[in-house]
Structure 1
Amino acid sequence: MLAIRLPEDLEKRLDNLAKRTGRTKTFYARQAIEQHLDDLEDLYLAEQRLTEIRAGRTRTVPLEDIMKRHGLED
C-alpha cells in the first residue's frame, strides 16, 4: 500500500484524466511509476558502471570487438 500527496494542480490533472477515460487515478499512478522506475533503474545502473570503469574495477570493450564477435562487421 502506498499513499502519496500530490500538488493540487497535478491531482486535478490526474482526476480529469481518470474521469475522461473511465480509468482510476490508481491505474494512471501505477502506470507512471512503472514506466519511470524502468528509466531510473537504467540510469542508476549506468552511473554505477561508469563509477566502476573510472575506478578501474571493470573494463570497456571496443565496439569493433563486439561487432566482430557477433558477426556484424562491415
Structure 2
Amino acid sequence: MKSVSVRIDDDIKARWERLSDEHGLNASHLMRQAIVEKLEELEDFYTVRQRLSEPFDPVPDEDVWKRAGLAD
C-alpha cells in the first residue's frame, strides 16, 4: 500500500483525531474511508454530468405511464 502526504488545517486534524479517539477508530482507516467515499461521490457526479450533456430522444408521456404500469 502506498503512502500519501496531505496538508490539512489544524482544526480538521483535531476533529479527525478526536473522532478516531472517541470512537476507537483507526485514524488511517478513517481517512482512507473518507477519501474513498468522496471519490465515489465525485465519480458519480461526473458520470451524471457527462450523461446529461449528451443529447437524448424524448419519451412520450404514454410510454412513461406504460413502463410505470400506470397506463389506462
Could you tell me the TM-score, scaled by structure 1's length? 0.69
Which ranges of 4 or more aligned residues in structure 1 deviate by more than 2 Å? 58-69, 71-74
> Which residue of structure 2 lines up, in the alignment, with residue 21 of structure 1?
23
In structure 2, how many angstroms separate the alpha carbons of the residues matched to 1:30 and 1:64? 47
Count of aligned pairs between the two proteins? 69
> Which residue of structure 1 lines up, in the alignment, with residue 54 of structure 2?
52
Distance change (3 Å), C-alpha of 1:43 and 1:10: same
Structure 1, unmatched stretches of 5+, are none
Q: Which digits, 9 at most, give the CA deviation of each residue in 1:29-67, with x for residues without a partner?
A: 1121222222111110111112222xxxx4454575355
> Which residue of structure 2 lines up, in the alignment, with residue 11 of structure 1?
13
Aligned identity (percent) is 35
In structure 2, how many angstroms separate the alpha carbons of the residues matched to 1:38 and 1:16? 25
Structure 2, unmatched stretches of 5+, are none
